[in-house]
Structure 1
């Protein structure tokens, strides 16, 4: 049960931020917090799914209560989960561009790095505190960042095509 505590506490945070924005009529920003909750559901719960078939071929390190992958883009790490990590953060990129239509690729990159680093830092911290059992993987930072950038680029194209999305 204690392994669920970080997710429960973070969920309370997302709900409180959503309610605050609801009260201040910041409806667009609520989508961002809901996306953050969805990402924390996928990454900060003690339920880990593996879609890789060559996990044993990835060079890993055991540190601070968890498994770490610090060498990026090892051939065995580019598997189904690699592509799904990109896909899971595309909606956050879409929401980012929807909320900040004047931003471009540098801000997308910073937002993507923020998302990726936050998710992996949370996994590292929660591994240490409650033995969450999640991998802390540099590839996830890269793929999460790429997903946000792709999502923002998709939304920019849609905003230019349909001016009502601004």
Structure 2
């Protein structure tokens, strides 16, 4: 049961922050955006910070170990399905970042995507060390997730023209 502590702890923090954010916005559409953030964060937590008994890693990587905790600091050892799935996994992050600040600069989007990814990978390493959740902190994940966030942001920015703007405008938090 201790293996689930990181997920449960972060879930409670996210829930409190969501309730707090709800008090700032009265419009249903803005609350829906905040709820989407909560759902996305919980899904990412479930995918990345819960214990696993199997591995998604399909490639043979040259892993290093720190007190039994595996990690990879050598990027691009092999391009595999996991690499592309990590990009896809964080495209919604970019879309949500766009709803928060659609006039953000490239550096801001890159930095926020990187920090979110670094938070997840850093937590995987620490939580595996403390709670043995069976995860691997991987530099490829940091790179691919950051790319996914940037793609999501600029992908939605490309389609935010004309009638699409009218559809998504109520969901902007800024």
Q: TM-score, normalised by structure 2?
A: 0.86
2:44 to 32, 39, 48: 39
Preserved CA contact (<8 Å) 2:110 2:146: yes
Structure 2 unaligned residues grouped into runs of 5+: 170-174
In structure 2, relative to structure 1, the CA distance for the partners of 1:49 and 1:98 (3 Å cut) is: farther
2:165 to 151, 159, 163: 163
Q: Does 1:117 align with 2:118?
A: yes
Structure 2 counterpart SS, 1:160: coil
In structure 2, relative to structure 1, the CA distance for the partners of 1:52 and 1:6 (3 Å cut) is: closer
Preserved CA contact (<8 Å) 1:85 1:143: yes
How far apart in 2 are the matches of 1:107 and 1:33?
21
Q: Does 1:71 align with 2:74?
A: yes
How far apart in 2 are the matches of 1:64 and 1:102?
44
Aligned ranges 1:103-114 → 2 under 5 Å? 103-114=104-115
In structure 2, the residue matched to 1:139 is 140
How far apart in 1 are the matches of 2:52 and 2:58?
18
Aligned ranges 1:57-68 → 2 under 5 Å? 58-68=61-71
How far apart in 2 are the matches of 1:48 and 1:30?
30
In structure 2, relative to structure 1, the CA distance for the partners of 1:65 and 1:17 (3 Å cut) is: farther
In structure 2, the residue matched to 1:53 is 58
Structure 1 unaligned residues grouped into runs of 5+: none
How far apart in 2 are the matches of 1:122 and 1:128?
10
Greater Cα offset, 79-88 or 25-34: 25-34
How far off its partner does 1:160 sit?
A: 2.8
Preserved CA contact (<8 Å) 1:32 1:95: yes
Structure 2 counterpart SS, 1:59: coil
Q: Does 1:151 align with 2:163?
A: no
In structure 1, the residue matched to 2:93 is 92
How many residue pairs get matched?
162
